[in-house]
Structure 1
Amino acid sequence: MNKFISAAIGGAFAGVIITSQLTGPLIAQETQRIKSTYEHLDLFGDIFERIRSAYVEEVDEEKLIESAISGMLRSLDPHSSYLPPEDFESMQVHTRGEFGGLGIEVTQEQGYVKVVSPIDDTPAANAGVEAGDFITKVDGVTTLGQTLDESVEKMRGPVGSEIVITIAREGVDEPFDLTIVRETIKIRAVRARIESETVVLRVSSFTDQTYRNLEEGLKEKVKEAGGMDAVNGFIIDLRNNPGGLLNQAIRVSDAFLEKGEIVSTRGRQNGSAEHYNATPGDLTEGKPVVILVNGGSASASEIVAGALQDHRRAIVVGTRTFGKGSVQTVMPLQAEGAIRLTTARYYTPSGRSIQALGVSPDILVNQRPPVELTEEEEAEQNRRFEADLAGSLSNDSLSDAEKEQLKAEQLAQEETAKLREQDYQLAYALDILKGLTALDQN
């Protein structure tokens, strides 16, 4: 018995010796690493002090530190960054999708702010601002020489506050002033319309408003079309959509799925993986879906395209997407700014990462510009048909109602043909849905 006890004790001591031999170097390595880190922090402090005291001109110490922080974050990856207070506030406005303002879409032309269009039922529209107007002054200060962002920032402000803009309008001799009271403006992240029998959902960004806009627009257009039976399918246009909020990408994907994983994220720490699954309920009731993407479709757009593609719920058409497969977390700081830090990678339901690869479309379709027709093609367009000939016999196999239906279908085809010159990818997507509908009816 004593022999067994001794052997056990001896083994225990041997274990302690082995453990000590392993932990000793590990502790030394960790101590050296910490020492090296603090030495580099001392080096940073030394360099900062030398710049502050010896640089040829007086420096702004706050900006110097902010620049150092920005450089540190930029060295990690292209999407990690420092957000000074004003940039952090601007980002929050963008992700909320609402702000205090006038309600106009603007661009810059000839150095001035030009109105692209006033948004319906906003202070600008109600005050009589028109598309094509030039805003030459804001509260008496000229917009000439200012960046578009600077002018836009001046037009935004607290809800209920007044602003005076000076308008120069074609056909009006003198510029005139408009006094407008700012209201809460909600940016429409989704615009819905009907093309032939198809509902087209143009998703421009993923903000707090995206899913709500999509659901409302989809239901409104289905009702306008005459119900779900009158719709042959849906097109989700994600082209040039840079992304946005992860939770909105998940909700938009869920809108077209009944079950299954939508996306998963994996961070650095063990156990940090998150899985997001679809819930029962498909807004389209199983109708065919086509997604349009291009090189400007990134991040949240790629999550939606990847999820619906992996579940074979949608046909993805267009060109390869941007390839941003990482998740950023915005962390507010004490100084009212924030850092945007990459904290995870995301994966589509099949487990693939799109980082640097993008989502490859099921059908590669480039956006072809309008082309000049050859003489033969022009002749084909101008060709006369039997029905155009004077005194031609009528068709006796169709009723008047069927003839009208046929004419309507032919007119819709001609409209799609015209659309090819403006938006070839969208026209291609419409053709796919028409083809699927035709097969389903056979």
Structure 2
Amino acid sequence: MRKYLLIGVSAFCLGAGTMAYLNRPAVADTPRAQTFRMLELFGDVLTTVENQYVTPVDDKKLIQAAIDGMLTSLDPHSGYLNPDDYGDMRDQTRGEYGGLGIEVTSDEGAVKVVSPMDDTPAARAGIQSGDYITAIDNQSVIGLQLSDAVKKMRGSVGQPITLTIVRQGKDPFDVKLVRESINVKSAKGHMEGDYGYLRVSAFDEKTTEQATEAVKDLEAKNPKMKGLVLDLRNNPGGLLDQAVGISSMFLDGGEVVSQRGRDPKDIERYNARSHGDMLHGLPMVVLINSGTASAAEIVSGALQDRHRAAIVGLTSFGKGSVQTVIPLHNGEDGALKLTTARYYTPSGRSIQKTGIEPDLEVAETYEQAEAVANEAFQFSEASFSNALNAEEGKVRRAPHEPAEAPPTGFDAKKDFQLQRGLDVLKYGSVAATPKYPTPKPKLAAILPGANPAAVAPGTTAKPAKPADAKPAAPAPSHP
């Protein structure tokens, strides 16, 4: 029976003994007795729905939905995977599945994009992190369970699909895509002048192997390579062992991450594997942004805490929890995806809600700089109403003016964050790198007490929440 540790998305039985207990008069108002009374209440509700709902109901679906609701009430990343969803999850962690190549989550009843995956229909169509998908083939998905919305986005290879997108500051618009067989290559590299560039877009079962091959290829073809940029932007996370594997590529032993469960003594430490630093000390920069989550934050935090790399970009998503996927009856009844621990960087930091803060804060565009300055535009773990609490006293950095944004005249086709990462490598450190003037966003909302709806021309605005919003469903799914 295999368990997956995910860092970033049963059968319900009342046996004869339990029912016999319920039929006995309660002798004490103990927590256990209260639990059994609530289970009896659940049975009463199910029976009432069966007998009186306007149309016949499917008990199995009702109970699965109840289990999922119980789990998603705990935090945004716990949930129930029915057998089909469990199979899809295993395909995703293998890096092979069909669909559009998009990471989505549920945000109070709406389907929200976490990030598009590289070289997939969603990425090529220009779908962006933070977009809302409100309809699929002209049918609304507002209020639909996330798993059902994902199923609608999947289909036969070559089959067209139309997504209705709501984006900040724009009227809703349609995006037409064609479903493909998604075989994600989660790591690939190339040269940027004298420096290597390694893009890691997710953490599936093949990521460390692919990344190792990419770095070896860069070194073989470019023996005078002066350093490396590791790009983890819009990487939603994945498997814990792959995060440890990627970190191990650049560390000479030592701790990468620790996880701590409910019991304070329940601490598990993960150390870098023994093969040593592949780059033999060559300087490194890691690029992150608000779409950098979970396993990607573990890598960023490890390399930052161990003083192995400078971090450039924007504060990461802030998902500091670990999910264990627990198959039920060998997966025949699906699986539980349950938050079982928090993780901590080598220095003992929990980044739950707060995220990894960069050593050099750089916005990719001037519009992004304005978004960072505006409370209404924030999208992070802290945005979820039922997210696990951060460590006592810790809060995510408030909206503010980013340290840098592209200056006037900068070629919009170029990657400003990547350019600044290369500058840090060129000058040897963040401190030695010449700085650009701090941008001055025109947003009135950065002032205390100001109206957050007052935005500058060309700036985007967060779409309204649906009136029938419901609590967020579990973490990212992959249509």
Length-normalised TM-score, structure 2: 0.59
1:219-368 matches, cutoff 5 A: 219-225=216-222, 227=223, 230-269=224-263, 271-280=265-274, 281-334=276-329, 335-368=332-365
| Cα offset, 1:287, TM superposition | 0.3
Are residues 185 and 47 of structure 1, via their aligned partners in 2, closer, same or farther at CA, if it must alter by over 3 Å? closer
Aligned to 2:417: 425
Which stretch of the first structure deviates more once superposed, 351-360 or 421-430?
Answer: 421-430
> What code does the residue aligned with 1:269 have?
D
Shift of 1:422: 2.2
- Residues 117, 305 of structure 1: alpha-carbon distance in 2 compared, 3 angstrom cutoff: closer
Question: Where in structure 2 are the equivalents of 1:16-27 lying within 5 Å?
Answer: none
Q: CA deviation at 1:249?
A: 0.3
Q: CA deviation at 1:260?
A: 1.6
Q: Distance in 1 between matches of 2:101 and 2:319?
A: 28
Displacement of 1:104 in angstroms is 9.6
Post-superposition Cα deviations, 1:14-62, rounded to whole Å, max 9, x if no partner, equal: xxxxxxxxxxxxxx99971111111111111111101111112211111
- Report the CA distance between 1:207 and its aligned residue: 0.3
Q: 2: distance between equivalents of 1:105 and 1:75? A: 27
Larger Rg: 1
Are 1:197 and 2:194 counterparts? yes
Structure 1 residues 293 and 29: alpha-carbon distance in aligned structure 2, compared to 1, 3 A threshold:
farther
Paired residues of 2:101 and 2:182 also in contact (CA < 8 A): no
Cα separation, partners in 2 of 1:434 and 1:270, compared to 1, 3 Å: closer
**Could you list the per-position Cα deviations for residues 75-99 of structure 1 after superposition, in whole angstroms to 9, with x for gaps in the alignment?**
1011101111121111111101135
* 1:38-437 correspondence runs (5 A): 38-99=36-97, 150=152, 152-155=154-157, 186-225=183-222, 227=223, 230-269=224-263, 271-280=265-274, 281-334=276-329, 335-368=332-365, 421-436=413-428
User: Using a 3 Å threshold, how does the CA distance of structure 1 residues 339 and 312 change in structure 2: closer, same or farther?
Assistant: same
Unaligned runs of 5+ in 2: 1-25, 103-117, 126-135, 140-148, 161-179, 369-408, 433-479
Which residue matches 1:139?
none
Give the 3 Å change call, closer, same or farther, for CA 418–30 of structure 1 in structure 2: farther
Shift of 1:272: 2.1
Instruction: Please list every run of 5 or more consecutive structure 1 residues that lacks an aligned counterpart in the other structure.
Output: 1-27, 107-115, 120-130, 133-142, 156-164, 168-181, 372-416
Deviation digits for residues 331-377 of structure 1, max 9, x if unmatched? Answer: 11134311100000000001010001000101111112599xxxxxx
Q: What secondary structure, in the 3-state scheme, does the structure 1 residue paired with 2:71 have? A: helix
Alpha carbons 2:256, 2:345 under 8 Å: kept: yes
| TM superposition shift of 1:259 | 2.3
The alpha-carbon distance between structure 1 residues 36 and 185, as it changes in their structure 2 partners (threshold 3 A), is closer
Report the residue type matching 2:326 in the other structure. Answer: M
- The alpha-carbon deviation at position 118 of structure 1 amounts to 9.1
The letter for the 1-side match of 2:263 is Q
CA gap 1:41/1:306 in 2 versus in 1, 3 angstroms: same
Q: CA, structure 1 residues 63+118, in 2 after alignment: closer, same or farther (shift >3 Å)?
A: closer
Greater relative CO, 1 or 2 (CA 8 Å, sep 6+): 2
Give the Cα separation in 2 of the matches to 1:424 and 1:313: 22
Structure 1: 4+ residue segments shifted above 4 A: 28-31, 103-106, 116-119, 143-152, 417-421
Q: What's the CA shift for 1:269? A: 3.0
- Two-structure CA RMSD over aligned residues (Å): 3.4
Distance 2:53 2:271 in 1: 56
State the shift of 1:185 in Å.
7.4
Distance 2:119 2:351 in 1: 37
Change (3 A) 1:46 1:149: closer
Q: How far off its partner does 1:432 sit? A: 1.1
| Letter of the 1:89 counterpart | G
Cα shift at 1:323: 0.5
Asked whether the equivalents of residues 369 and 421 of structure 1 are also in contact (C-alpha less than 8 Å), the reply is: no
Classify 1:78/1:150 alpha carbon distance in 2 versus 1 (closer, same or farther; 3 Å): closer
Secondary structure in structure 2 of the residue aligned to 1:206: coil
Alignment CA distance shift 1:49-1:244 (3 Å): same
% identical equivalent positions: 44
The 1:72–1:105 alpha-carbon spacing in structure 2 relative to 1, beyond 3 Å, is closer
Quick one: which amino acid aligns to residue 64 of structure 1? L
SS in 2 for 1:422: coil
Distance 1:366 1:82, change over 3 A: same
Counterpart Cα distance in 2 of 1:88 and 1:256: 33
TM-score (ref. length: structure 1): 0.63
Question: Structure 2 CA distance, aligned partners of 1:92 and 1:57?
Answer: 35
Indicate the structure with greater helix content.
Answer: 1
